[in-house]
Chains A and B, each alone.
Chain A
């Protein structure tokens, strides 16, 4: 399973240490905390969010990182900010 973002539909803005997402089709706004921003940027870069979290917070237990990533990705997909797509050979 791969998580993808439509760049035309979601706008990120960082301000004063906070991060915000705009879902353009609905006009809804969302906030991201620090770990959420790391996960979001990893998704944008096509990287594994777990690896990005491990680089940023190596001392945090792997189970906690996994739970954070799962929770955020579920929320992002639920809000229409990202889509889960099947990995295809060669893609």
Chain B
């Protein structure tokens, strides 16, 4: 008997899609090629990196910030293996959680590589050579993405790492060279810097964190440099020599020019991610991809082949776990005959460095490019009573509102808790709030989100606590 839905991939997009579909009464099978469920996010992405960011942050806090509080501790010692174990416990717990949710929702899971043999047929092949074909009324491809590579630079996950290897190093590198100043490079760079590495970041563009509001990115760079990270912008790595004791990376200006050599013990290649479609059999079944290898879908996540859909990192759009989740829910609802929908205007984006950076909506650059007149309301955490008293005053809130009708168009937060705080902003924007609406919503005192309220007041030039 055919399944109502077969989902290929059990990352945030796939597993959420499966659960929603099951809630809507469908009989669902999830095919996962890895031994554990959860995809990149749970196993070698979001979850483990957050664990290490948390532990390494506390390690640094204990070393640097406890003494002024009158808490005397000796210099902390690092047991990296134990830290990795802590991380793995978190990963395992989450993976088990997904397995539990599958059981609860009566979703079947099969381990193996999923190949679409024909529309409505998925062949699941395991490493031992066995394969089995299942029938499906609908197929959702949620195979996510893989690490982007640099031509000519081989990743061995020992000294030349991808993010996967950078999450499981056996010891803290003395010198870590990071290629790419995007989210992943900066987060993992922060982890190892806090644990004792000397971190240098090489970036092709003339700025870090592409896509993030320029002012926020510049402020972030200043703070990270202050923390000890060094940046080499507008530069590209052309080769990495691994035969010598130290790694020798050839660096030259992005536009070409004199090369120089940077030495490091370990290098992390963090130049982005690319859609992953290996072994899916897309060519033989006729599913079309674009020139960036992304599966092409219409407004209902349908590919050009009837009955085959795709979501998450494997299609266009921001490569974020929660974007994949939203799409997973939407496509499940569409398959159930409902009006599934994703609001792409309100998808938050978080960088889990310290302080965290969280943005939702438009940057100033985007508004200027679109010719939309806007007002700015900015509020520094140095003026926020809670941040002040905790002596964690780095960062600011910036709210961009439509100059004509005050509608909130973008919210940018940089502070210790930005990732959590942005949820309020997303909620407000989802309901079409004006800056005035945020300003007139009572925020508890003394909390960090008061800064969001004050920034909203600042849009109207009437902040109280500034």
Do A and B truly interact?
no
